[in-house]
Structure 1
Amino acid sequence: MSDLPTRLFRFLNRTSLVAQILVGLIAGIVLALLAPGAAKSVSLLGDLFVAALKAAAPILVFTLVAASLANHQRGQPTHIRPILGLYVLGTLSAAVTAVVASFIFPTSLTLVASATDVAPPSGVAQVLKTLLFNVVDNPVHALLEGNFIGILAWAVALGIAFRSAGEGTRTLVADVSAGVTQIVKLIIRCAPLGIFGLVANTLATSGFGVLLGYAQLLAVLVGSMLFVALVLNPLIVYWQIRRNPYPLVFTCLRESGLTAFFTRSSAANIPVNLQLCQRLGLHKDTYSVSIPLGATINMAGAAITISVLTLAAVNTLNISVDLLSAILLSILAAVCACGASGVAGGSLLLIPLACSLFGIPNDVAMQVVAVGFIIGVVQDSVETALNSSTDVLFTAASCIAHGDTVEAD
């Protein structure tokens, strides 16, 4: 009997984390169907898991980026600039995909009363201003609030400053980073229990009945995101690596997208992505910066949400859209998506900004935002899965293109 914990520990170590997560997913679905009351009571497991990831992510990003830059040896390759290009290309392409899908499958909305009292930004200038102020945020405040733009700025600044520090100082920074990484690995091992709690509570509390009225809207949203994940992104990756991209694509979707789907937080999924990059054998100096940066600006899913819901509002109000307006919407959606992490409410509260392009009043636009909150249980999950898995995908693609060895299974 005393050997049972040891045997269980060995069994869990031998079993794939993805397989354990799938078991937790199935168990959560079964519990929600058979005992909804009990399913709601296990929500604590999911809440604790997401809270732990969110608590660890800012510290991990700060220490990892600072340590990576402080101990970077001159002459070692990093591929941040090409990855940034892929982030921009992917987000803009996703916006164009959403616009085309909305023209092919026009959708109308049943507008409802606004579900939020949060004011949207008044223009692109305000979004950019928010991002700039996030850069110069107090580092302690940035860590407390999960402001990853500010965290990145301070981590980069300190990392560069520490490059001229003594060997002992740089070793200390690296040791702190390694210690935080070990803590995060322990948190990630709890993912099966966290997913179990999240799935059981979500299905027992919300169900999917409320979503039936918005089936076509969801189909356009999810269909566009799946097209980007399974067609557009593989094409971009193939352009980079010149070989079959799907093993890498499916690895990123399975090991990053699956967790992000249930946590619904790009910030919470940063530790998962960093660990996946390590398993893929990517260059640490590259992914320690590109992954947290991607979580703030690589927002293909957000660009799709902004475009589809905006054009649904346009179609509902019978507003004609010409080619130039569609192009402008794609560019605006891509820019807004990159700034989504700097605005409370994420991509949904940037919809009024895009609606203003077509002269839609703010009170009507906020009703569209309310629709977004109603379908958010699916929309936000798929959007986050696409955003987060693409961070690893583009980072890996750039590393392969520049000669790094990656093994996707």
Structure 2
Amino acid sequence: MPHSTNRLIRIYFKIGLIPQIILGLILGIALAAISKDLALDMSFIGSLFINALKSVAPILVLILVIASISNHQHGKRANMGELLALYFSGMMLAALLATVASFIFPSVISLGDAADQSKLTPPGSIIEVLKTLFNKMIDNPVNALVNANYIGLIIWGVGIGIALRHSSETTKTMMNDLSLAISFIVRIIIRFAPLGVFGLVASTLAETGFGELLKYAHLLVVLVSCMLIVALIVNPLLAYIIMRKNPYPLVLTSLKDSAIPAFFTRSSAANIPVNIEICKRLKMDEDTYSVAVPLGAAINMSGAAITITILTLATVNSLHIEVDIFSAVLLCIVTSVCACGASGIAGGSLLLIPVACSMFGIPNEISAKVIGIGIAIGVIQDSIETALNSSSDVVFIGAVSEKVQRNKAK
């Protein structure tokens, strides 16, 4: 019997995280259909997973920001100005599109007891949002960590990262190693996502009924639709503005050769060698792509901008918080900045949802529940998000390289 059990465990870990999450999802739905009482008892499993996410997210944000800024390389600016403008424009337009889609097709999610128990005071105007934002920016760093004040953590991370850019290489290496260590802990927590999804789905469906599946499906359709529009319309338009020629041959090549591998690896960082090979095969400017591919894998995250925006606005809608046009625009800016800091691991963008949620006074308990919901739909969402992020790198680098080579030919 032990040998048989060990074999089952080995098979379980061998099939990969995505099938495991699908299995957890199916078992959670089945348990809710078979026994409502038992499904409700499984809520503690989902709570453990959510609490683990809550514990690691603040320190992850702080360390990632410090490490990424302190390890930024001086020099090597090969056409980086235009590329950075393309990266940020792409993320900003993606966030704007996600905001418009959320207003036209509003999503609602069940937040359970977390929403009932929180003492939530919705902001009344853009002035209140800005006041909250500025107060969070100047928070004590220890207090920011304890209370999961992500805005404050980002400000302190940027400040410490800039200061450490002039430190010794050993200090920078230490920060990078610390970033890798925190990311390793996140990976361990994410490995328990199938159990977390099982507990969350079982207890949620038992409590709210199977109509919740329709809410998840609606949320997923809005997310995926926005990502497809960015990939097939927004990115080609930005590329055309730079290269002044039909961008679709480049776009389709990037979708075929870059998006498909990224869809299955679910990691922009893991797709770096693939993108470098594509750029080399298409004879792009080497000085540009040698720097831009790793940079794009770290900060060009249109898919993450869409995910963070839509899930934040779904939370806002669920809590009946009014959002005016100025707050929506500010959300797009904050989301674009957050997307730049999204971790390169699978599901990394979800851990930055609390940053956007904090703009509206939404506590960490609720935003952590939203992360769990994001992981439940991440079987599809995260794969398409990564495919968009990675293929966007090739499109934008190709557009800038085309312009560079055209200027050299003159």
TM bracket (short chain): 0.5 to 0.7
Q: What are the superposed Cα offsets for residues 226-270 of structure 1, whole Å, 9 maximum, x if unpaired?
A: 111111111111111122111100101111111111101111011
2:239 and 2:396 in contact (8 A); partners too:
yes
1:112 and 1:370 in contact (8 A); partners too:
no
Distance between the aligned counterparts of 1:269 and 1:240, measured in 2? 24
Structure 1 residue 304, shift from structure 2 partner: 0.6
Distance between the aligned counterparts of 1:312 and 1:282, measured in 2? 40
Distance 1:112 1:254, change over 3 A: farther
Distance 1:129 1:275, change over 3 A: farther
Who is 1:106 aligned against? 106
Letter of the 1:87 counterpart: Y
1:95 and 1:303 in contact (8 A); partners too:
yes
Distance between the aligned counterparts of 1:248 and 1:293, measured in 2? 20
Distance between the aligned counterparts of 2:406 and 2:218, measured in 1? 43
Q: What are the superposed Cα offsets for residues 164-191 of structure 1, whole Å, 9 maximum, x if unpaired?
A: xxxxxxxxxxxxxxxxxxxxxxxxxxxx
Q: What are the superposed Cα offsets for residues 183-222 of structure 1, whole Å, 9 maximum, x if unpaired?
A: xxxxxxxxxxxxxxxxxxx9xx99x999665110001111
Letter of the 2:149 counterpart: S
Matches within 5 A, 1:1-400: 43=15, 78-111=78-111, 122-130=149-157, 133=161, 138-139=172-173, 142=176, 214-341=216-343, 346-400=348-402
Distance 1:38 1:223, change over 3 A: farther
Report the TM-score, using the length of structure 1 for normalisation.
0.61
2:346 and 2:382 in contact (8 A); partners too:
no
2:95 and 2:335 in contact (8 A); partners too:
yes
1:120 and 1:349 in contact (8 A); partners too:
no
Letter of the 2:176 counterpart: A
Distance between the aligned counterparts of 2:10 and 2:342, measured in 1? 36
Distance 1:284 1:126, change over 3 A: same
2:223 and 2:307 in contact (8 A); partners too:
yes
Distance between the aligned counterparts of 1:245 and 1:276, measured in 2? 16
Distance 1:379 1:343, change over 3 A: closer
2:308 and 2:349 in contact (8 A); partners too:
yes
Structure 1 residue 40, shift from structure 2 partner: 5.7
RMSD: 3.8
Distance between the aligned counterparts of 2:263 and 2:147, measured in 1? 25
2:269 and 2:345 in contact (8 A); partners too:
no
Q: What are the superposed Cα offsets for residues 255-313 of structure 1, whole Å, 9 maximum, x if unpaired?
A: 11111111011110111111111111012121111111111111111111110001101
Distance between the aligned counterparts of 2:282 and 2:81, measured in 1? 20
Letter of the 2:280 counterpart: Q
Who is 2:22 aligned against? none
1:127 and 1:336 in contact (8 A); partners too:
no
Report the TM-score, using the length of structure 2 for normalisation.
0.61
Letter of the 2:97 counterpart: T
Deviates more, 1:297-306 or 1:338-347: 338-347
1:113 and 1:370 in contact (8 A); partners too:
no
Letter of the 1:142 counterpart: N
1:256 and 1:385 in contact (8 A); partners too:
yes
Letter of the 2:151 counterpart: V
Structure 1 residue 401, shift from structure 2 partner: 1.6
Structure 1 residue 144, shift from structure 2 partner: 8.9
Distance 1:342 1:237, change over 3 A: closer
Distance 1:244 1:226, change over 3 A: same
Distance between the aligned counterparts of 2:93 and 2:99, measured in 1? 10
User: Please, which runs of 5 or more residues in structure 1 have no aligned partner?
Assistant: 1-35, 48-64, 148-201
Distance 1:272 1:237, change over 3 A: same
Letter of the 2:89 counterpart: L
Determine what percentage of the aligned residue pairs are the same residue: 49
Distance between the aligned counterparts of 2:14 and 2:346, measured in 1? 28
Distance between the aligned counterparts of 1:99 and 1:255, measured in 2? 30
